[in-house]
Amino acid sequence: MPRKIYPLLAPFLIMMLISLWMMVTPINAVSSDEMHDDISGQTLLPASAVSIELDGATIYRENQPLIIKDRLWVPLRTISEALGCNITWEDNTHTVIIAGTSSSGEDFELSLKPGCSQVTGSMSSILQAADNELQNTVPIIVEGRTMVPIRFLTGIMSVPVSWDPISRTVILNQEEGEEVYKDDQSSMRVFSEIDNGMTISMHAGEEIRLELNSNPTTGFTWVINEEPDPSVSVLNGPEFVSDSSSTANIMGAGGKECWQIRAVRPGSTSLSLCYMRPWESVQPICTYCLKIEVL
């Protein structure tokens, strides 16, 4: 009797396995929080949990920013207009025109095309900032909107940018930038947590500033994990700058650890740091790496 049941069980088990596979597959399929699109072989991830603030106000956006290879990309028109620029699209040449006023009060105009890293314009300083941020990448079009790295816009407008890891907020301080760059025309680029994993290009003699969130009262500090090779030099740091505006509230306040870095000679290197208590033999709570190519 049992031998007669076996032939009936086999088809039944197969049907059950097929039914289970059909039920599980949709769950494991790509969800709305995963892959957004794929352009030129690059995976785009929606950065729905990231907010962007300009001078304390959240910038309205119709479409979400994207994360591509650890870089935050934003809709060109939305952020540019919030920074005071005018955007026009030339349909016959497929060109985006960005017009605005620099931190020194000079009017400028930039032309760029999605899919092309070449930027043309009227001011050499603005062009240099634009070229620095579009190296190894190009503007793209997603759902009919031109997207660029946020560093492209903050670079050409000389707007300081920082990253709040707790609220996952990109903070733009245009008012602070106007004061800083009126007194300092060097327009030194500043990098923070938002640039973790990024590859940047520098020219020999150029200097940049690295600012990472820190709170030494907890015992944690940023430690350089691996010294960069001689193509760059760490001029000074870490220098701690408190977030507190009042000296009476410095005790216990967080802030930033800052370094100034100079490109010395052509080469490629990485600046790797760990956030940890130096006396503890445990894994750091976070790491940071900035890849530098000196031209």
DSSP string, 22-71: HHHHHHHS--TTS--EEETTEEEEE-TT-EEEETTEEPP-SS--EEETTE
Judge whether 284 lies within some domain.
yes
160/192 same-domain check: no
CA distance 104 to 127: 15
Structural domain harbouring 214: 188-244+253-295
Q: Are residues 115 and 198 in the same domain?
A: no
Shared domain check, 228 and 100 = no
Q: Does residue 11 fall inside a structural domain?
A: no
The answer to whether position 54 is within a domain reads yes
Q: Are residues 272 and 172 in the same domain?
A: no
| 29 and 124 fall within a common domain | yes
Give the pLDDT of residue 47: 57
9 part of a folded domain? no
Query: pLDDT tens track of the chain, all 295 residues?
Result: 455 555 555 655 566 555 544 443 332 322 333 333 444 445 455 556 677 888 878 776 556 778 776 678 888 888 888 888 889 988 888 889 998 887 777 788 888 888 887 788 877 777 777 777 776 678 888 877 888 888 888 888 878 777 776 677 888 877 654 443 333 434 578 888 888 888 888 888 888 989 999 988 889 999 988 778 888 888 888 889 887 544 444 556 788 999 999 888 888 899 999 999 989 888 888 999 998 988 7
The pTM for the full model equals 0.56
Alpha-carbon span 219 to 182, nearest angstrom: 37
- Do 109 and 50 sit in the same domain of this protein? yes
Among residues 185, 202, 222, the one where a domain terminates is 185
Find out whether 102 and 158 touch, Cβ atoms under 8 Å: yes
Instruction: Tell me which of 158, 185, 212 is where a domain ends.
Output: 185
Task: Please indicate, yes or no, if residue 4 is contained in any of the structural domains.
Answer: no
Of 185, 203, 235, which closes a domain? 185
- 61 part of a folded domain: yes
Flag whether 5 is in a domain: no
| Residue 113 CB neighbour total at 10 angstroms | 17
**CATH code of residue 227:** 2.60.40.2020
Domain shared by 228 and 110, yes or no: no
Radius of gyration of the chain (CA): 24
Q: How many domains does the chain have?
A: 2
**Whether residue 86 is found in the same domain as residue 130:** yes
Domain co-membership, 227 together with 176: no
Residue 7 lies in a domain: no
Same domain, 142 and 161: yes
Using CB atoms within 10 Å of the CB of residue 170, give its burial: 0 to 12 exposed, 13 to 18 middle, 19+ buried. Answer: buried
The pLDDT, as a whole number, for residue 275 is: 93
| 290 shares a domain with 226 | yes
Q: Check whether residue 29 and residue 155 sit in a common domain.
A: yes
Domain CATH code at residue 23:
3.30.457.10
